[in-house]
Amino acid sequence: MLYEVFWLVFALIVGILMSLGLLGLIFSPSISVKPARITGIILSGLILLTGIYFSYQWSVEKKGIQTLTGQIEQAIRVYLEKNKKNS
């Protein structure tokens, strides 16, 4: 369950980065000042590449992330079992 939550948050962040990068590349030619246009294209490209990089890193580290989140879930279960409140 924890892995799915992490994946959902990660996918949302990468989606936002990729969308911002693509939108920046699409709309940067409409900037009239040449230095600002070039800066916009470079920043948009960097944002897009950052999203691609994070997506690649997730796929490379997937097994490690699953293992880590499994250990965290187990630790939470053990903690909750030891600290049950008497109702």
- Tens of pLDDT along 22-32? 998 898 888 88
Count of structural domains, the chain:
1
Residue 87 lies in a domain: no
Q: Establish if 40 belongs to a structural domain.
A: yes
DSSP one-letter string for 17-34: HHHHHHHHHHHGGG-SSH
Whether the model clears a pTM of 0.75, i.e. scores above it, the answer is no
* Residue 73 lies inside a defined structural domain of this protein: yes
Distance, in Å, from the CA atom of 17 to the CA atom of 13, rounded to the nearest integer, reads: 6
Residue 20 contacts by C-beta under 8 Å, 6 or more apart in sequence?
44, 47
Residue 62 domain flag: yes
- pLDDT of amino acid 86: 62
Looking at the domain assignment, is residue 69 inside a domain? yes
- Average pLDDT over every residue of 40-67: 91
> Is residue 7 assigned to a domain?
yes
Mind listing the pLDDT tens digit for each residue in 6-51? 899 999 999 998 999 999 889 888 888 999 999 989 999 999 999 9
Give yes or no for residue 73 having a pLDDT over 70.
yes
Q: What's the domain range around 15?
A: 2-82
8 in any annotated domain: yes
d(CA 10, CA 1): 14
Query: Is 66 part of a structural domain of the chain?
Result: yes
